[in-house]
Every structure is written in structure tokens, then in C-alpha cells.
Amino acid sequence: KRFDTIGNDPIFTRNLTLIKSFDGLSCQFTDVILDRFCLEILPKINDKIERLNVESLSMERILRLINYSNLRTLGLYDVQPETVNYLFSGNDILFYSFNY
């Protein structure tokens, strides 16, 4: 029920951060919660998201899930430079998602 409330909040949906630790603070963002969020919430709010922050452990799952048509800013946290180069070099489907 709380997920539905969050999904309808325009402030929350415009700037979305899906990371387990930020500025030394950690949250209880388990795989079960992330899976539920990806399957039930993101498909409902994907067109409202303008800024998305993700970490290496969950970024592939989140970014491949759906098209973010209004995404303007993508923050990648705890990601190796080689991974970023690969994802956006044209060798991966994410390249096409963000360039077309």
C-alpha cells in the first residue's frame, strides 16, 4: 500500500534514487523490495522520472527494465569506469536506449 502512495507522489517520482548507501547512510533496500519496486512501481511511473540514481549492483536490472522517456539525468554510483564505457559504447543495448 505504501508503494502505491509513493508512486503517486510527483516529487518522489521526478527524482528517484535507488541505492543502498548514500553519504554514509544505508537503508534496508533488499532484493525482494527492489524486485517488487521494479516489477510493480517502475512500470507505472517510468514516464515521470526525470532524474535517476542507481548503483552498480542494481543498475542493469533497473535500466533494462523499461524505457524512461523523460529521463534527463542518470547518476551511476559505485560503478567501475570499464563498465560505464561498455554500457554506453554501442556494444550494449543500453547505448541504444539512451541515444534513440
DSSP characters for 27-67? ----HHHHHHIIIIIHHHHGGG-SEEEEEHHHHHHHHHHS-
Residue type for position 26: S
Rounded CA separation 24/62 (Å): 22
pTM of the model: 0.72
Q: What's the rounded mean pLDDT across residues 18-44?
A: 76
Q: What is the DSSP letter of 58?
A: H
pLDDT at 64 over 90: no
Q: What's the rounded mean pLDDT across residues 52-73?
A: 88
H-helix or E-strand containing 73? strand 73-77
Question: By three-state DSSP, how is residue 81 classified?
Answer: helix
H-helix or E-strand containing 9? none
The share of the chain scoring above pLDDT 90, in percent, equals: 19
